[in-house]
Amino acid sequence: MTRSPAPAAPSSAALSPRDRSVIVLLLISAFVVILNETILSVALPPIMDDLDLAETTAQWLTTGFMLTMAVVIPITGFLMGRFSTRQVFAIAMTTFTAGTLICAVSPAFLPLLLGRIVQASGTAIMMPLLMTTVMNLVPPSRHGQVMGNISIVISVAPALGPTLSGLILSFAPWRFLFVLVLPIAVAALAIGLRRIENVSEADPKPADALSVLLSAVGFGPLVYGLTGISGGGHGGAAEAPSGPPVAALVALAVGVVALALFVLRQLRLQRHERALLDLRTFASRNFAVAVGLMVVMMGSMFGVVVLLPIFLQRVLELSTLSVGLMMLPGGLAMGLLAPFVGRLFDRVGPRPLLLPGLAAVVVGIGIMSRVPEQAWLIVVGHVVMSLGLAFVFTPLMTTAMGSLPRRLYPHGSAIVGTVQQVAGAAGAALMVSVMARVAAGTTAGGATELAGISAGTSAAFTISAVLGLVTVAIALFIRRNPADAGDRPVEAGPAEPEETAAPT
């Protein structure tokens, strides 16, 4: 790889006022949209009561959000190449604001679901935009520090969501969750449109319609299949799992076939710089290893995220507000530690942070796998896991993105976001399935339903801890990017032979 001076980055490690302003505005906007992603997690029961919905129907408010994210994120790499920074920001925040307004005034379920889908479309664009902009503007010697600030957004916003939701629902109807977010979103949009300057210009390159279609038909059904494949046994711990639903298996098969065709299409298009999602990112060893580690880690972590509230509410019989407050210390701990980890990464590189961080994640999940009846011990395990994650997120994302040439930043950030969605759905499906089957076996032996849920949760958390040990082994293959010691990003990688014939 060769390096040349980056036009968007200053020669020194200091950020210009313009660049700092752009990053701060994007951070604030990203915080708002990610906060919204989890704010509905404890609001489903009030929505079900108000709109007279069944649980399976109400669940589409979260499933639909996840499916939309999975469909939209893969095309963000193209959007960031096709449109300028300000245009992409306007698309993301206008879409999110419109979705929030629809949700706030929704009189019934279908308009509310539509609003959530529109919200998710804006959310899916914002995080790749933030990561790509940071990588373009910030010198490699400060990537860790600024990525640490992004980690604050990623960790604190989801942790605050359930807590704020519980507080708001204790004195106001569920629509106020969106009414309170709406003016913040409008303000972020107005200020951003006025002050964000372009750090990348539009490239009038048409989208490949077949790639867009294959992406939607691939990632959407894949996530739907993964989230639905553990549907057997959801009816309760005492109900024996009847196997994966046929619809989920069909969706999974459709998704896998469409994704195989999507990959073949991208391999052909990227020779002409027309790929919707450029897979040459995986030519970077560090990027490939980091993504592999992320798949295992996100799968392990999402299982805990999904099952822990179920255990706390059904077995320990805690209120939604109590559950939200219990999750808050871990999120705040991650946020407070993230800037320190970012600065430390710039000095020592990824491996000295990843290994102890992943080990702490394993210990934290191990504590929670005992599913003790003392709620404070659950909090301790969650905080230990969160502190470990603080040492993982920043080094992992920074190393993955920093190993790429500048022209592949948008595609790299889109791949990272897509992997998080798919791996999270797969991990949640696996852990819920394990919990349901162990719970059914336990109750079949004469135990109570609550004892079955407790045993199933313990088994699922134990598997999560074992997967965590796998991530420790994978982390041994992570190396520090040579560019991270300097002030200039990698500009180019090995070029593929150019062909004159355009693909059809």
Digit-coded pLDDT (tens) for 382-416: 899 989 988 988 888 888 888 888 888 888 888 98
Provide mean pLDDT across the span 448-467. Answer: 87
Give the pLDDT band (50/70/90) at residue 178: very high
| Lowest-confidence segment of 200-204, 248-252, 259-263 by average pLDDT | 200-204
Phi-psi region of 321 (alpha: psi -120 to 50; beta: other; left: phi over 0): alpha
Exposure string for 350-377, b = 16+ CB within 10 A, e = fewer: bbebbbebbbbbbbbbbbbbebbeeeee
Sketch the domain layout of the chain as residue ranges: 16-203, 209-233+246-275, 280-481
Q: How far is CA 423 from CA 64, 113, 133, 323, 389, in A?
A: 17, 24, 25, 25, 16
**503 or 359, greater pLDDT:** 359
Look at residue 116 in the predicted model and tell me its pLDDT.
Answer: 93
Query: What is residue 13's predicted lDDT score, i.e. its pLDDT?
Result: 54
Average pLDDT over residues 469-491: 73
> What mean pLDDT value characterizes the chain?
81
pLDDT value of residue 243: 58
Check residue 288 and give its pLDDT: 92
Q: Residue 237 — very low, low, confident or very high, per pLDDT cuts 50/70/90?
A: very low
Quick one: which of 347, 313, 296, 353 has its CA closest to 474?
Answer: 296
Convert the pLDDT of each residue in 488-502 to its tens digit. 444 444 444 444 444
Distance CA 49, CA 45 (A): 6
The number of residues in the chain equals 504
Give pLDDT, residue 390.
Answer: 86
The label of the residue with tokens 């419109």 reads 98
**How much is the pLDDT for 115?**
94
pLDDT band at 263 (very low <50, low <70, confident <90, very high): very high
pLDDT at 322 over 70: yes
Beta bridge partners of 2: 492
Which of 8-22, 35-49, 126-140, 277-291 is the least confident region? 8-22
CATH of domain 280-481: 1.20.1250.20
Does residue 165 register a pLDDT over 70?
A: yes
CATH architecture of 16-203: Up-down Bundle (1.20)
pLDDT tens digits, 79-126 = 887 788 888 999 999 999 999 999 999 999 999 999 999 999 999 998
Who contacts 195 (Cβ-Cβ below 8 Å, separation ≥6)? 21, 25
Residue 467 has pLDDT above 80, yes or no: yes
**Regarding predicted confidence, which is higher, 154 or 169?**
169
Predicted pLDDT at 483: 64
Give per-residue pLDDT as tens, 14-70: 667 777 888 888 888 888 888 887 777 677 778 888 888 876 677 788 778 888 888
For range 356-374, the mean pLDDT: 87
Are 400 and 285 spatial neighbours (Cβ–Cβ below 8 Å)?
A: no
In this predicted structure, the answer to whether residue 236 has a pLDDT above a threshold of 60 is: no
